[in-house]
Structure 1
Amino acid sequence: MGGWKRVAGSIALIAATTACGTDAPPDDPTSAADTITSTTRTPRVVDESGRPAITFDPCLDLPDDVLVEAQYDPKSKRPSEYPMETYSFLGCSFKSTPPPPGVLDGSRLMILSGNVTLEEEWEKDGHISTHTSVNGRDALLQLDPSNKNTCAINVRTDFGMVTFRRTQFPDDARRLPIDEWCGGLDHAVALFESHLEQ
């Protein structure tokens, strides 16, 4: 997502639910189990762009067991929002689970859902992008030599795209060989892919 201008919004997670239905009167044979209840989640970010609503919330829609399988700590989640007039991004970052001693201090994965298209991303950052796919879904692999130890995969969705950007942190703060920056990220994104459309 390198070329997109960012404006940080409030870093707060808002999950709202509303329920409808009424309790049955005491003499009504209808049990509480028969009461119809519905829930609706209020989006964390909306804009007036006319673009599709962002329907995948990376802080809410990735199951904990999938994050653990991908070696990220569900309890480390950190939400963020970037509402703009013409597009928006909804973010969440996760720390990796503890790595082997002496190898890396770990990594952080930032996941951004945006209502911009993969084509727009290619137009802005095609010079650092390669076309690829994740479980058959169109994607862009992005490797920017100036962005130390960082690799990103942008995946197409019905509302736009989801970016998975990982930065690795060697225990001695060194610059890793560039051919190691993306290692294993494709496996994690493949685990997340089936949860992108809710």
Structure 2
Amino acid sequence: MDVPVIVELTRCDSGAKEQARIETLAREAAKSQIDGSWWNDLPATLRAPADEPDRHWEWRVIVSKFQNKPYYRAKCVISNDNLIQAAMLFRVDALSALATGQRAVFVDRLATAPRNRDKLVTAPVFRGGGTGLLVYAVAQSYSLGFKGRVNLFPVANVHFYTGLGFQPTNVTQGDDALFELPAASAIALLKTKGLIDD
């Protein structure tokens, strides 16, 4: 299967659909478009941006640290106005926590631009960037022969992940449980998105 390079975003104000590109996140783009702009000049907020769990992430540093490691990939969603709407760092050498001995893709970081967060700003711009990147990770897992299995530690909004079919596992890191999208749920998600046939 071909891994998607286009994602559909929804404008929150009008409901209009807009296509956006999934591209490799380069260090300079991470520096200028995420670190240098995501948290600046936010519209009216519902809560303090400093309380967001990813507020301290420095994407330039993250991308720099992993850009030459063969199993890591950094991707982003770029809208038609050439702004980064979501970003993700993932690893393609992980193991499944639910299917012993099987492989999975591990999503290390996933974030949508603060301007798109309905729990943070009063008038979010787009919906769909984070979901698009997560579907990309599932498609990547499927194309590598991992049956779409993806795991991650959700830093916020656990309901978002469980709504897509992620399940908690017995693996923990501190107080956080690893969640995994099992193969059956991953395949169902890819079928729903029209990426694989029945």
TM-score by length of 1: 0.34
TM-score by length of 2: 0.34
Greater relative contact order, per chain length (Cα 8 Å cut-off, separation 6+): 2
Of Structure 1 and Structure 2, the greater helix share is in: 2
